[in-house]
Amino acid sequence: MKEAKQMSVSAIQDGTVIDHVPASNLFKVIQILGLDRIENQITFGTNLESEKLGRKAIIKISGLFFEDEDINRIALVAPDAKLNIIKDYEVVEKKVVEVPDTIVGIARCMNPKCITNFETVTTRFRVVSKKNVALKCHYCEKITTQENLEIF
């Protein structure tokens, strides 16, 4: 007999549900969105089964709705993330994330000689490829690719 589908993390009344986050990057998403610094109720589940991702995480933030610009910052570490906007317990909108054109202060430049690696300068990149992410450093012009991408 087929069991009824159950939610592994309780439903929320109002807010944002970020689904399909790779479990391995859950804490990076939390960090990028600054969720450790807000007072909203947040619940998350991790290492949940997902056909696409193997193990996924889901984050539910009550009472918070993100600007596209802010939420798109997670695309580097959660490219398949699906956002569900919840109002009065209903999903009123679904969105996907998109890698932005510029990345400020999330990734490290892979060039050890880059000024951003030895002075307190915020990193800044132009996204030259969105599919297989490639970031061109504003300061040294070296390319940081998906393979050597380091998030801080």
Which residues of this chain interact with ligand CTP, rule CB under 6 A? 7, 11-12, 17, 19, 58, 60, 82, 84, 86, 89, 91
> Rounded to 5 degrees, what are φ and ψ at 107?
-110, 155
Size of the site for Zn ion (CB under 5 A): 6
Binding residue for Zn ion, selected from 50, 111, 121, 124, defined by CB under 5 A: 111
> Rounded to 5 degrees, what are φ and ψ at 5?
-70, 130
> What burial class does residue 37 get, using C-beta atoms within 10 Å of its C-beta: 0-12 exposed, 13-18 middle, 19+ buried?
exposed
Cβ 15 to ligand CTP shortest distance, Å: 8
Residue number, 47 or 148, with CB nearest to ligand CTP: 47
Is residue 137 within the footprint of Zn ion (CB under 5 A)? yes
The binding site for Zn ion (CB under 5 A) comprises 109, 111, 114, 137, 139-140
